Amino acid sequence: MPIQVSTLPEYMKKRFGGNRIQMYLAVISLVLYIFTKISVNLYSGSLFLAEALEWNTWLSIIILLSITTLITVTGFIKVGGFQGLLDAYGGAIAEVNISSREGGNLLNTMILTAKEKNITSLLQLSNELTIDSRLRCSLPSRKAFRLLREINDPDMPWLGFLLGQTPSSIWYWCADQMMVQRTLAAKSLSHAQGATLMTGIIKQIPIFIMVIPGMISRVLYPNEIGCFPGSDCLKVCGHRNGCSNMAYPKLVIDLMPSGTLLSRLCTNEM
C-alpha cells in the first residue's frame, strides 16, 4: 500500500487482469447507483418540495432532475470536459470550517424554537389517539427479536430474508464504492484499519439523525404521522400504507429555522 487505485473495478482489474470484470462491475455499479441512491435522493427531495410548496410529487422529481442535469452539464463544460475534470479533481481539497460559536448559535436557536412551540405540552395530544393506534405504538411485535421467521410470515419470511438480504449486504459492505473507498485511498495498512474503525464509530450517528427525529415527529404529529393505514392516511398524505415518509420533512418545515429548509433542498442537488 498504497495501491494507487480509486475504484473497486480498477482494483479488480489490477488483481485479476483483463477488462471484462472491470467493465462488468462498472456497469453494475452505475445501475445500482441509479436505483438505490439517486432515486432515493430524488424521492426525498420531492417530499420536501411537496410538503413545503404543495407541489405534485412527479412534478417535484422532474424539477429536481432538470436542475441536477443543468448543474452537471454546465459544470462539466466549465471545467473543460473529461481532461479538465481529471485535472481539477486531482488537485481539489475539500475544506470544512464550522466555528463553535456558529454551532452554539444554531443550538440556541433550536432551543428557543422548541420553547416557543411548547413541545412538552404537546404530549397531552395522546388523548386524540385511537385505542388501536395506542396498542400498536406501545406494544412491540412478538416477533420483534426473531430474525428468522416462518416461511409464510407476511412481513419477512426466512427464505426471502436469506436470499434477499445476504447478497445485498455482501455487496454493500464489500463492494460498494462508499464502503471500499476508505481502504483503497489509504496510504498504509494502519491508515486503512484506522479509517475502518472510525467509520464504525460514525455509523452510530444515523441513530440521532434518522431514528430519533422520526420518533419525535411521531409524538408531535400523532394524527398525521401516526395515522391509521388505509383511508385515514390517504386523506393526510395521499398514501394508503402510511405517512411515515413525511416525518422528517414536516419536522424541518414546522420546527427548524427557515434557512434549514433551503439547505436541505440544496443538499438534494449535491
Give the pLDDT band of residue 237 (cuts 50, 70, 90): confident
Helix axes 212-220, 247-255, angle to 10 degrees: 70
Flag whether 86 is in a domain.
Answer: yes
Q: Is 9 exposed, middle or buried (0-12, 13-18, 19+ CB in 10 A)?
A: buried
For the segment 39-48, what is each residue's pLDDT rounded down to a tens digit?
887 887 787 7
Provide the 3-class DSSP secondary structure of residue 227: coil
Flag whether 79 is in a domain.
Answer: yes
Structural domains in the chain (count): 1
Flag whether 51 is in a domain.
Answer: yes
pLDDT of residue 107 exceeding 50: no
Q: Is 243 exposed, middle or buried (0-12, 13-18, 19+ CB in 10 A)?
A: buried
Flag whether 150 is in a domain.
Answer: no
Residue matched to cell numbers 391509521: 228
Q: What is the enclosing helix (H) or strand (E) of 120? A: none
Taking the model in full, what pTM does it have? 0.55
Flag whether 202 is in a domain.
Answer: no
Pairwise CA distance, residues 112 & 117, whole Å:
9
Which among 133, 114, 159 has a CA at the least distance from the CA of 251? 114
Domain that holds residue 41: 1-97
For the segment 132-162, what is each residue's pLDDT rounded down to a tens digit?
544 555 566 777 778 888 888 887 888 888 8
For residue 209, what pLDDT is reported? Answer: 82
Flag whether 240 is in a domain.
Answer: no
Flag whether 42 is in a domain.
Answer: yes
Helix axes 258-267, 39-53, angle to 10 degrees: 150
Flag whether 259 is in a domain.
Answer: no
- Distance of alpha carbon 78 from its chain centroid, rounded? 29
